[in-house]
Structure 1
Amino acid sequence: MLSKSRIGNICYYVSDIDRTEAFYRDVVGLDVQRMDDDGDGNAWLIASIANNIDLLFFRMESRPGNSPIVVFDLAEGGIDDVVEGLAQKGATIVTPVSHAPGGWSSEFADPDGHQISVYQTEDAPRSRK
């Protein structure tokens, strides 16, 4: 189901955006950009690394099992169909398809409770049917 998609992002939940930005910029040496998608003051960070993979940092409670999250990029769209197929095969859908910065995402859990995400841009069709 996801064999033809690529890993596009790895998401981290962090408690302090400013501290995280300073660490990944000043200590790790990444080009970190501060984003504010909704203009509501809920800034998040993005840092691009090799192979077109982005590290994304969102302020949210971080606990074992919910961070980091590997995100599969659905370049051709069809997120609704993919999530429906995962549910039919017994995957636990943690977050149904919902709006995400620049597109749509959904999270599901593996048997150990680790979250995995799928994402597609707003301009890709949500269904392939």
Structure 2
Amino acid sequence: MLSNIRIGNICYYVNDIDRTEAFYRDVVGLDVQRMEGDEETGDWLLASIENNIELIFFQMESHPGNTPIVVFDLSEGGIDEVVTGLAEKGATIVTPVSHAPGGWSAEFADPDGHVLSVYQPEDRPRSRV
């Protein structure tokens, strides 16, 4: 089901986007880009690290246990079938397929309640049919 994937992003929910931007830029030394969001998400941050993995920061209530979220990149598309397959195998779907910046995402939980996510770019088909 998720055998031909890579970790594409690690998402963090942060309480203060400006403070987070300053920390990761000035303290950690990452090249942090502020991305213009929409009315729902607001501005968000993007920092690329080794192996084409991106750290993404969204301003949202943050507390231990709801962040970070590992995001598996579905570069070939088919997010609807992947999420359906996960549900059929007993995974708890936390957030159904929905629009995300530049594509589509869905979240599911492992048996201990840790949230994982799948993401596909909007230029890939949501269905493999």
Fold equivalence (TM over 0.5): yes
Deviation track 1:26-64 (CA, whole Å, cap 9, x = no partner) reads 000000000113277811000000000000000011123
Cα distance in 2 between the residues matched to 1:89 and 1:41 = 31
| 2:112 matches 1:112 | yes
Q: Partners in 2 of 1:106 and 1:28 — Cα distance?
A: 29
Q: What TM-score do the two structures reach when normalised by structure 1? A: 0.96
Q: Identity of paired residues, percent?
A: 79
Whichever residue aligns with residue 44 of structure 1, its letter is W
Alpha-carbon distance between aligned partners in 1 of 2:116 and 2:18, rounded to the nearest angstrom:
26
Partner of 1:3: 3
1:58 partnered with 2:53: no
Aligned pair count reads 129
Alpha carbons 1:65, 1:113 under 8 Å: kept: no
Query: Structure 1: which 5+ runs fail to align?
Result: none
Matching residue of 2:47: 47
Residues 58-77 of structure 1: pairs in structure 2 closer than 5 A? 58-77=58-77
2:37 alignment partner, SS class: coil
Displaced runs of 4 or more, over 2 A: 37-41
The equivalent of 2:23 in structure 1 is 23
Q: Mean alpha-carbon deviation: is it higher for 98-107 or for 33-42?
A: 33-42
1:13, 1:58 within 8 Å by CA — same for their partners in 2? yes
* Per-residue deviation, 1:83: 0.1
The letter for the 1-side match of 2:50 is A
TM-score normalised over the length of structure 2: 0.96
Segments of 5+ residues of structure 2 without an aligned counterpart are none
Q: Distance in 2 between matches of 1:104 and 1:58?
A: 16
Query: In the alignment, which residue of structure 2 is the partner of 1:32?
Result: 32
Q: Distance in 2 between matches of 1:36 and 1:27?
A: 23
Q: Deviations over 1:65-87 (max 9, x none)?
A: 21000000000000000000000
